[in-house]
Structure formats: structure tokens, C-alpha cells
Structure 1
Amino acid sequence: MSAGGPVKDDGAAAEAVARSMAYRFLSRAFLPAQGDPDRLTRGDEEALRVLRSVASGSGGASETVEAVARLLDAEAGSSLHEEYYRTFGHQISKDCPLYETQYGAGHVFQQAQQLADIAGFYRAFGLEVADGAGERVDHISLELEFMHVLTYREAYARLHHGAGRVAQLREAQQAFLRDHLSRWVPVLARLVRRRTDGLYRHLADLAAAWVAADAAALGLPATEEVDYRPDLSPDPAGSLPSCGMDPDAAPTRS
């Protein structure tokens, strides 16, 4: 097979689709709760199956998946709404922020550089945050959605494009996990544990376990985690032009 020919690896394509489902589920999980708990489970039973299969080798992670599934079945929309804002706040929480640049970047200019780096990853694949999304590029939901897009495109590339395109997408996944998600999501999970024993504690633990497992599957060594230092400026994007994923370029949120 030539380097430019289609890879046509159905098994690897199916695996990439499964990973994409898991990332989409986790991305939705950290959107502000709006009284609709079914938004997490609607059409995502397969995502939970994927997460269960990854967690099967770890007793703690397996228990976390089952706790998430159980609580999603039991939670009412109003209680989800209350827990979300009690845990993460109505603005940027100092206790467990959902924004990467609140972690480890002590100066507003360093935070601005990190925001630009994240936005650069998105733009490299023709993506930008949709107008009206109301979130910065470093929100955990958007970073997880970016991985959802990359893994979905990998699945398509394995069936329709050349090995070079697959390699490009895999390298981007490795880089984004290494430079971003792997460094701060485990810290977020630890902070959330201090705030709640409910659904969002288990979702944060699940996100940390999934990110670690996916990074290992991509051959990445353990990443040094950031130190959490509450920053002096709660909104480093305030002095930046907004980076606002386009619905025509990326999956829209439901």
C-alpha cells in the first residue's frame, strides 16, 4: 500500500469512533446543567460501554463508571443544576475552575499565551468556538470536544484517506493530551472531590481516568501535572480578542 492510499483498517476506525464517543460524552458532562439530565445519556449508551471497557482493568475506575451511570438514572434536572453551580460556581470558581489557564499560569500574560496555544490547536484543524458559545477556549468541555473531533476525523481518515492524514491526527491527539488535558484534568478531579460527593465528583474522576488511559494508549509517558495556584486575574481572556468551535466546522452541541 502506498503511503498516500487509504488505510482501510475497519478495526482501528471502530476504535477511533469509540474514543470519539467517550470524549463527546465527557465534553457534554461539563456543560452547565440546564435541567435536562438526559442530554448526557441520550444516544450515549455506547459511550458508557466504551468507558466501562477501559475501566474494567481498574477497580476504582470501574466503580466510578457505575456510579456515573447510577446517578444519571437517579438525578432530576433541578438537582443537577444545583450541584453544578454549587460545585463550579456561576462564574470562574477559585476552588475547582473548569478552565485550564487557571492552573499553573501565575501571570496574566502567561495565561494569554496558553489561551493562544489552545486556540492555535483548534485553528490548525479549521475549528473555532461557535458564536454564542459563551465559553473560553480553555474550558474543559471545549478541550474534550476538540479531542472528540480529532478522534472522529481519525476514524474517517482510516477509511477514506491516506496513512499520512491518520498520522497527522494521531500526532495532534498526542500533543494536545500531553500539553493540555493530561496536565490539569487530574488536578481538577482532586479539587472537585473536596467540593461534592455527587455526580460531578464521579464525572471528574472519570474524565481524569479516561484522559490518563487514552494518553497511555497513544504511547505517552506520564505527564507532570500542573500546580494549582489561584490566579490574580479571573479572566485572562478579557484583554484578548475572543476566539469564537464553528458549527459548520465542528459538531454542534445538543
Structure 2
Amino acid sequence: MFSHQSLPARVISQVFLLIAVGVLVLPLGMILFVSMQGEGPVNYLRVLEGTPFVRFFVNSAIVSVSTVVLVTLTATMAAFATSVLRPRGAGIAQLLLIAGLALPAIALVVPLFYAVQSLGLLNTYWAVIIPLAAISLPFGVLVASNYIRSLPVEVYEAAKVDGATDRQYFWRVLLPMCRPILAVVVIFTFLSAWNEYLLPLIFIQNTDMQVLTQVPTYFQSQRLVDTPKIFAANVLISLPVVVLYIALQRTFQRGLSAGAIK
């Protein structure tokens, strides 16, 4: 990285790199430090034993995995249609997706609530899955479209010459080639769904169906805030995201590079 730079440039680059690492690592260190205050490691046991952590974990897993599957398949199909098949209106669809990215999620809460209510989905997992998928879909389609357009068109033409239908090309050829960008979509969608707080709070009134982001509220009230246990809960909540990133790290990095360079 620094082999073609002069000594002062290498020193400056490394100093800025260390500053960036420090900015990222310092908050994580503070979270771990505060979570160990008071009762120490017992804080984590209090979180696991004093809240419906396991039940909320299952609920979060159901919502997050369902959202990831729905967004990944729908975004890839839409990207294939707009980038390869290119039917009429594909350009307009792309503009609408960009407009969807520009809208803040909070602005969609009220219309989404009425839509979910009219469908009779309140107090169900779908009440959260469908809105989360709708909010995450524009990003997934845009990054998948950019990646698919960077693939050689000869691959599609060769598949058609061999007699493959569009459906066969999508499932047997395109999806395996899209694994790097799919890892990007999976991680960002899972991160968004796993950390969602507002939508489950509004759309699900049944306590047994709440998600992990509600766990820290068990340690705060009007008169008392148990900060170490709140931080311990946040550490436990973040672990699945860390595990997912470690599992998909190499594919994720290839997807980011491929999506940025055409």
C-alpha cells in the first residue's frame, strides 16, 4: 500500500490510519469497559436470566433471516430484469429506487402502519418483515444492478446459445456469479433488520413477539438506569452481526470491490 510513497507520505498515511482505527475501536472498548462495571461478568448473566433474551433472540432471528431472504431474492431478480432483460420502464424503475433511497425511513412509518393494518398483519412477524424488506429493497437492487452490469454480456449470450431460458440462466449461472455482491446485500440487510427498534415497537404489541432491541429497556425506568447491564445487553445483541461478518468477510470485501469498480 505504501511502497510507492515517500517516507513523509507513508508516515502521514499511517498516522491517519491509526487515528481512524482509534476512532472505531475506542467506542467499542468503552462499551466493553462499562459493561463490566458493577457486578462484572455477572452483568451478562443478569441480562440472560432477567429478560426474555432467548425468546427475543428467536424473534429477531425469524424477522432478520426472513427479511434477508426476501430482499436478496427480490433485489437480485429485479436487478436481473433491469440490467439484462431491460423491459420498458426499466429506467423509470431505477429512478423510483433512487427516490426510495432518498426518503428517510421515519417518513414511511405512518403509511406503512396503515398498509400493515389494512392487510390485517398487526402483531405478526410479517408486520415487521414486509416494511423492513420494503425499506431495504432499493439499496439491494441498486448494488446488485451495478454488479450485474459489470459482468461480461457474453456469458448471457453463451447461455442463450446453449438453449438456456432466462429462468435457468438466473438460477444456474447468474446467482452463483453474484455471490460477492449477495454477501454485501445479506450483511447490510441483516444489520438493518437485526438492529431495528422502532418498527417492532409500533407494529407488534404482543410482548412475546418482541425483538432483542427491546432488551435494554428492561434495565431502565423513570428513576433508575442500570447502565452496565444496558451495555452488556448491547454487547450480546451485537454478537450475531459480528459472527455473520466474520463468516462472510472475504466474500463481502470482494463484493464491495466489485460493486465499486466496473
Scaled by the length of structure 1, the TM-score of the pair is 0.29
Scaled by the length of structure 2, the TM-score of the pair is 0.28
More helix per residue: 1 or 2?
2
Q: Which has the larger radius of gyration?
A: 2
